[in-house]
Amino acid sequence: MAEYFLGAALLFAAANAYTLRRQYETAGALWFLVAVLFVVLQIRPSVRSRKLQKKRLRICKEGCVLLRVFLLSTGCTIVYSLAGYCGMLRADSLIGDPKLWILGTVASVCLHAVVFWNGMIRIYLTSEQLGVKWRVLGGLCGMLPVVNLIILSILIRTAEREADFENEKILLNRKREAERICATKYPLLLVHGVFFRDFRYFNYWGRVPKELEQNGAVVYYGNHPSAASVADCGEELAVRIRKILEETGAEKVNIIAHSKGGLDCRYALAKCGVADLVASLTTVSTPHRGCEFADCLLSHIPGAQQEMVAAAYNKALRALGEENADFMAAVRDLTAEACRARNEELGEVSGVYCQSVGSIQTKAVSGRFPLNFSWHLVRHFEGRNDGLVGEDSFPWGETCQLLTPGSGRGISHADMIDLNRENIEGFDVREFYVQLVHGLKEKGL
């Protein structure tokens, strides 16, 4: 806090030097020193930021310091200038000479603009949490009084929290580096959900894999189709499991599967002869009892429209090299009716440690499209949900964990895999997976 006030005092002095010098008739050497320190402020706004572990974070933090300095100094300058214009500052050299105040105001605006844009450019170029939304709002609302101050405060707070949070994570990982808390006995296999891929052009799991690897985990991906029936995906995953074991020489794998990927893995274990090659299966946000709203949509949307959407999706996936994409097969296998039949067919998995994790999205706006839309549908049919999966649909296995952070935002279906790379207050998705995998290690898996 002290460096904010010191920086603001320096900016105020530099920005109002024209009138301050005339008012107090101080020596020119003092204002030369102020000018030099002003330049230093633009280059090195903060001493404390030097402690941050990454250059990107240092620049981001310094941008926040500059913007806070800008706000403090601007407030003081407005009061000072208004007092001068109104004749409240009784300095003989300034009385009756409004031109001096006009010139002083122009100089002040220019120097404040330098500080403002220095700070904005820094956070716009380095912050990952601002995203497109806040960057656009910052540009559109820049000239709207009051609104621009609200948006600016949000930009500063978001970028500042990011710098501090990411730095703490770096320090935490360094502190426990030797412990390798995610070095499980068997390699990890991350299995994606429907309509997404984990190979070529897209990173489904966000920042999670890197965090796990930094803590000792060996990570592999499912590389199965983005949209296909549970049976087809299960068969491909069985082939993938055998290939991983052949490459690594390991006896088994630990699987963490998201959404429909959990259904695919259950099928692989029960029907494809790989149960003895899997040490554990953790399903995350998996609709084990299906999605009732999917049944409703399929029954109300005309077949011709369903086929049109399916054909467009399958064509797009073929262009990405996925020849066997089957949109409708994937959707039908997610219905409550299909899941009830499959649960009876597959039964329980023996010899494999199984657990499940689910979450609650507390309001529609907590999820990005399409989860902000589907949340209403799922709530109508199934009550509390994560935007796609109802609270009663995800539990499966020996233990079940429901995540409901107290921030009021909740955790969406996409948040559970860090799809949006968003730092959520009250829920550190990367640390959640670190501790999840650490738990598998503690069990000797």
Q: Which two tokens stand for residue 119?
A: 């700070």
Amino acid at 209: P
Q: Greatest CA span in the chain, whole angstroms?
A: 95
Q: Which two tokens stand for residue 205?
A: 């799991």
Comparing CA positions, the residue from 58, 10, 12 lying closest to residue 34 is 10
* Extended beta strands in 212-275, E state: 219-221, 253-258
- Are 85 and 17 spatial neighbours (Cβ–Cβ below 8 Å)? no
pLDDT digits (tens), the chain, 445 positions: 678 888 888 887 787 776 666 666 665 677 778 788 888 888 888 888 888 889 999 999 999 999 999 999 888 888 877 776 666 555 545 544 666 767 777 888 888 899 999 999 999 999 999 988 889 988 888 888 888 889 999 999 999 999 999 999 999 999 999 999 999 999 999 999 887 777 666 778 999 999 999 999 999 999 888 888 899 999 999 999 999 999 999 999 999 999 999 999 999 999 999 999 999 999 999 999 988 877 777 777 777 777 777 677 667 767 666 777 777 788 888 888 899 999 999 888 889 999 999 999 998 887 787 788 888 888 888 889 998 899 999 999 999 999 987 667 889 999 999 988 999 988 999 999 999 999 999 999 9
What is residue 127's three-state secondary structure? coil
Residue 22's pLDDT is what? 62
- For residue 96, the surrounding DSSP H or E stretch is none
- For residue 357, the surrounding DSSP H or E stretch is strand 353-359
Distance CA 266, CA 404 (A): 26
Residue 16's pLDDT is what? 77
Amino acid at 9: A
Distance CA 206, CA 193 (A): 14
306 CB-contact burial (10 Å; exposed 0-12 / middle 13-18 / buried 19+): middle
181-442: CATH topology = Rossmann fold (3.40.50)
| Burial 43-69, CB ≥16 within 10 A → b, else e | eebbeebeebeeebbbbbbbbbbbbbb
Structural domain spans, the chain? 2-173, 181-442
CA distances from 368 to 130, 133, 203 (A): 15, 12, 17
Comparing CA positions, the residue from 128, 183, 132 lying closest to residue 161 is 128
| Burial 88-126, CB ≥16 within 10 A → b, else e | eeeeeebeeeeebbeebbebbeebbebbbebbbebbbeb
